[in-house]
Amino acid sequence: MFHKALDTVKKYNMLSIGDSVVCGVSGGADSTALLLFMCSIREIYKLNIFAIHVHHGIRGKEADDDCQFVEELCKSLDVPLTVKKYAIIEIAKQSGLSEEEAGRKARYYEFEEERKKHENCKIAIAHNMNDQAETVLMRLCRGSGLTGLCGIRPVRGDIIRPLIFCSRSEIEDYLKEKCQDFRNDSTNFMEDYTRNKIRLRILPYIEKNINSAATKNIANAATLLLEDEMYIENAAVRAFEYALLDISEKKVTIDLAKFSEFDRVIQKRIVRKAAWKLKSGIKDVSNVHVEEVLKLSKMIKGHFDLPNGIKADSRYGKLSLSLNENIKESTGYSYELLEDKIIYVKEAGLFFELTRKNKKNESNLNNMYTKSFDYDKISGVAYVRTRKQDDKISINKNGNSKKIKKLFIDCKIPAEKRDSIPLIAFSNEVIWAVGIRCGTYYEASENTKNVCHINIWRLKK
């Protein structure tokens, strides 16, 4: 493991002489091996090593023992340690995030805060080859494109991952050679978490029944895809600069004649880069939105509203993306609604869930609002979002429909409230204007074979 990790450090220029390094240490095998490895090359690179342990407040005494283990380990290695404590379960409930995601956000926040305290500082994370394979499979199941299928990058900004090409078994062998104990997190063996299901069930099944080297091969595939991704991304940067006519804080304008010279793959990235220039975080701008902008680019004249208050406009041979000042940032939103994944829409203060299970009578939820739909009629990914141009809702079982704008007028919804009403929709088909009406064609009936329920609720106060 040592030589693999050192080769990775050299290949990706992860460290320079005299760097400071903050190591995230949970006490598990991976992070324990990472800290030992960093200390073993401390003299080679003249490193200043610091450790940080984030206590999630989830596993009681077990978590306290993990913290004590890390404290003793860092003391034995003469590494300064910072411990931060969180109540992750409560944070997850309040934010609508899974405990996994809430914990991850807390860790990376603290890692970055610690990094800022030191000059020329990197953050070392203990992701390994198995983590890489699990991530690629998870993202593949979620429908990620090339960028997502590159998995976990060896270097991302100030974050480095020296163990990314080391397998879990190699890491444990390294610790055994060093006669170094480590802690086992009991939650790693609970199948409540998506990643654990992949780790404990899917990958072992694949290795046993399909290819014994599956983990290594999947991780290697991510590395090959990353090379392609970097090449395409560099080409997209050049294409964006070539097609760019004008740019400011509130507007990016593209020359459509030059834009049309490129393949769709590059065009999509140009659109994303334009959106990114306006909003540094464009997580809500999905492939569906980018496709709509590509359609717009072929029109003589037209416009389209993206999430986060971004407006796309095509006219006079120019494609412009601008901040739509007529839409308040706090009202415009768009969130993917995936099966059995609870999401929190902060703009509406509501939780949403699409599931096959009927939870209508659960007592631990406040103000539960449930509607049932024919899942076979829902095509593609459903979204919780605010209205957009050309939205329509069915008004009978034959599929006849009316514009959402007309529905709002008929229902006497005040104009200032129309852009904040949550809609459950796919494409421009609204299946539920929350609090107003459902799309009749999509409602479940006694003859529906595949029923899905959409639940909406607030946290108990």
Structure tokens at 285: 């701008």
| Residue 18 CB-density burial (10 A; 0-12 exposed, 13-18 middle, 19+ buried) | exposed
**For residue 1, what pLDDT is reported?**
94
**For residue 364, what pLDDT is reported?**
45
Q: Across residues 171-198, what is the average pLDDT?
A: 84
Candidates 80, 22, 31; CA nearest to 182 is 31
- Whether residue 203 is predicted with pLDDT greater than 70 in this model: the reply is yes
More confident residue, 78 or 460: 78
What distance in Å separates the CA atoms of residue 115 and residue 103, rounded to the nearest whole number? 18
More confident residue, 211 or 282: 211
What distance in Å separates the CA atoms of residue 56 and residue 75, rounded to the nearest whole number? 22
More confident residue, 179 or 358: 179
**For residue 118, what pLDDT is reported?**
94
Q: Which residues contact 33 (CB under 8 A, 6 or more apart)?
A: 1, 126, 163, 171, 174, 175, 180, 182
* Entry pTM: 0.66
Tell me: the pLDDT tens digits for 267-320?
Answer: 999 999 998 888 765 666 778 888 889 999 988 888 888 777 788 899 889 999
One-letter amino acid for residue 109 of the chain: Y
What distance in Å separates the CA atoms of residue 237 and residue 240, rounded to the nearest whole number? 5
Q: What percent of the chain has pLDDT over 90?
A: 53
| Ranges 24-33, 240-249, 273-282, 379-388: which has the least confidence | 273-282
306: helix, coil or strand? strand
More confident residue, 454 or 288: 454
- Whether residue 339 is predicted with pLDDT greater than 80 in this model: the reply is yes
Tell me: the pLDDT tens digits for 397-423?
Answer: 887 888 998 898 888 888 777 888 999
Apex 108 CA angle, 103 and 110, nearest 5: 95
One-letter amino acid for residue 316 of the chain: Y
Task: Spell out the domains of the chain, with CATH numbers in brackets.
Answer: 2-225 (3.40.50.620), 248-323 (3.30.465.60), 334-458 (3.50.40.10)
246: helix, coil or strand? strand
Tell me: the pLDDT tens digits for 106-156?
Answer: 899 899 999 999 999 999 999 999 999 999 998 898 888 898 899 999 999
Of the pLDDT bands very low, low, confident and very high (cuts 50, 70, 90), residue 329 is very low
**For residue 360, what pLDDT is reported?**
53
